[in-house]
Amino acid sequence: MRGQFFTDRGQIRSHNEDAGGIFYNKDGQLLALVADGMGGHKAGDVASEMATSLVQTNWEECNGIDEPEKAEIWISELLQKVNQKIYEEATQNKDCQGMGTTIVVVICTKEFLTIAHVGDSRCYLWSQEDFIQLTEDHSLVNELVRKGEISKDDAEYHPRKNVLLKALGTEQEIKPDIQSITWENGNKLLLCSDGLTNKLVDTELEEYLALNEAISTIGKTMVEQANERGGEDNISLVLVFHDWTEKEGDNLC
């Protein structure tokens, strides 16, 4: 299993409020994460870095997880703690008032994925047969689409497109969406912030993931494409390719 994290400030922003990475627990299992901070130049990066650091520390201290149910409990409990930490910092530090962050985090084992998210950072799964968005944005426009009040095309240009209904750290309690699915050798996983999905449509993301290229080449090309189309926001993504073989051993993820 191979993975890589990519992030770029973009063409307009003075600094990068995104964070993320790929981390391994004591049994070598992989966890992928992207967080997109909000709250202005003083605080957005604080929230996303806090979320990333707290998840990383806890995952690296964690033993192997062999069942989806255990993964879901672990990640649910952890995100509640992360939310509380960010909320406390936002309420106690005047420079951080109003800060929060989206998060999408995936535990990747050889047999299954456990996906958790809050906000509008997304997770996609590519296979030879299909390309699926696994997460549903916690945003105002997505709620309007879901209710049938606007179309998906309308949502792309809605003036309140960036309004979130949920984010880590903005409320004392949070309920992330969590699910587990199976995946197979040859599948590819994409996690990303809206700096990417606001510039590349799903069909383009699918085309990039279908390329028979190195992870580094695909990731860099996607970032470059988003920047060429304006790069008004920070751009971050994680790619994970499931290409496990018997020679790699049972504990390599």
The confidence band for 73, taking pLDDT boundaries of 50, 70 and 90, is: very high
CA atoms lying within 13 Å on the CB side of residue 249: 6
| 162/87: higher pLDDT | 87
What's the mean pLDDT in 54-65?
97
Question: Cα separation of 204 and 5, whole Å?
Answer: 19
Provide the pLDDT for residue 250.
39
The pTM of the full predicted model, rounded to 2 decimals, is: 0.92
Higher pLDDT, 144 or 130: 130
Residue 217 confidence (pLDDT) above 90:
yes
* For residues 204-218, average pLDDT: 97
10 to each of 5, 55, 208, 222, 235, how far by Cα in Å? 16, 25, 20, 12, 6
Q: pLDDT tens, 152-173?
A: 776 776 767 778 999 999 999 9
* Confidence band, pLDDT 50/70/90 cuts, at residue 249: very low
Predicted local confidence at residue 7, as pLDDT: 98
Name the DSSP letter for residue 247. Answer: G
Q: Compute the 3-state secondary structure of the chain and give helix, strand, coil in percent, each to the nearest 5.
A: 35, 25, 40
- Both tokens of residue 10? 């973009």
What integer is the mean pLDDT of 117-127?
97
Instruction: Out of 75-84, 93-102, 174-183, pick the least confident.
Output: 93-102
How large is the average pLDDT for residues 37-41? Answer: 75
Q: What is the CATH number of domain 2-243?
A: 3.60.40.10
Q: What is the mean pLDDT of the chain?
A: 92
* Average pLDDT score over residue span 65-90: 97
Pairwise CA distance, residues 152 & 180, whole Å? 26
Domain ranges (residues) in the chain: 2-243
Residue 140, pLDDT score: 85
> What confidence category does residue 176 fall into, taking pLDDT thresholds of 50, 70 and 90?
very high
- pLDDT, residue 67, reads 97
pLDDT tens by residue, 97-107: 989 999 999 99
Which residue has better confidence, 80 or 1? 80
Question: Minimal CA–CA distance to 199: which of 165, 145, 236?
Answer: 236
